[in-house]
Structure 1
Amino acid sequence: MPNQVVVAGAVIRGSTLLVAQRSRPPELAGRWELPGGKVAPGESERGALVRELAEELGLDASDVAVGDRLGGDIALNRALNRTTILRAYRVRLIRGEPHAHDHKALRWVTAAELPDVDWVPADRGWLNDLAQAL
């Protein structure tokens, strides 16, 4: 089976990064992550990220600019010969204000605050890259 790709957006405004608090599943509820989601068949990674940011944050395609990849791939739950690959992209917020449609809460954090965020385990792999991006 092919790999499933999940894209995450490092949404940056000025020198702050948007982080989203998960409401589910129970083992991750309350922890923080970069917003994003699964790439659908036939969809580009950047297209999937724009769609996910619209669904999760209420941001239109004209509100954000998806840029270059950030950090390396993170492999998740290898099961039944299928690996889920997590990929992050830099996203510049052009206008608009994100709202939590799919998360418990949103907040903006600085580079200095990154280590103190209660991250979901997978997103911890990007902390150095996120700090450099800010």
Structure 2
Amino acid sequence: MTSLKQVVGAAIVDSLAYPSRLLVARRSAPPMLAGLWEFPGGKVEPGENCTQALHRELMEELGVSVRLGTEVEGPHEQGWLLNERAAMRVWMAELTSGVPRPLEDHDLLNWLDLGSAETLAALPWIPADYPIVAGLLAAIGEPVDTTGPAPGR
């Protein structure tokens, strides 16, 4: 596999030790992704490693600092394929300071119950994030079918 643009994301939970809620962010841009939900994060810039980029992105996008937990490991060396040009690595994270606000690229944030896998699966995620949701739920012991919303949704 050729080198892909590296993107990083956070599965921000209420507690790394006993996660019960997940913070999700609704995209406001670009137009083709507006209204879809995602894990907050962004591109790794030159001179940054993945975790440095994730901390920077979360401060820029949400105004928060986090403690990173384990990585939600994807099936590829660079994590989860987003498209033919980019892949994303995702870490579990817990807030350490700040109150999450949609500062950049998002118009809404919401805490969702991790015990309601059906609610998570039914959310209109960016399509590439559905496998990551399944990986996250499997990592915390809540398996679910997250192949995407049922036709007609």
TM-score, length of structure 1 as denominator length: 0.86
Alignment counterpart, residue 108 of structure 1, candidates 90, 111, 116: 111
Aligned partner of 1:123 in structure 2 is 129
Aligned partner of 1:98 in structure 2 is 100
Aligned partner of 2:4 in structure 1 is 3
1:18-72 superposed Cα distances (whole Å, 9 cap, x missing partner): 100000111111010000000011101000000000000011xxx3101221130
Using the TM superposition, give the Cα deviation of residue 107 of structure 1 relative to its aligned residue in structure 2, in angstroms. 0.3
Partner Cα distance (1:33, 1:23) in 2:
11
Report the residue type matching 1:64 in the other structure: V
Which runs of no fewer than 5 residues in structure 2 stay unpaired?
Answer: 143-153
Partner Cα distance (2:92, 2:4) in 1:
22
Report the residue type matching 1:85 in the other structure: A
Partner Cα distance (1:75, 1:128) in 2:
14
Using the TM superposition, give the Cα deviation of residue 110 of structure 1 relative to its aligned residue in structure 2, in angstroms. 1.2
Alignment counterpart, residue 59 of structure 2, candidates 51, 54, 57: 54
Quick one: higher RCO (CA 8 Å, sep 6+), 1 or 2?
A: 1
1:60-86 superposed Cα distances (whole Å, 9 cap, x missing partner): xxx3101221130222332xxxx3111
CA-atom RMSD in angstroms: 1.7
Which runs of no fewer than 5 residues in structure 1 stay unpaired?
Answer: none
Report the residue type matching 1:48 in the other structure: A
Alignment counterpart, residue 36 of structure 2, candidates 8, 31, 38: 31
Partner Cα distance (2:14, 2:32) in 1:
29
SS class of match (2:42): strand
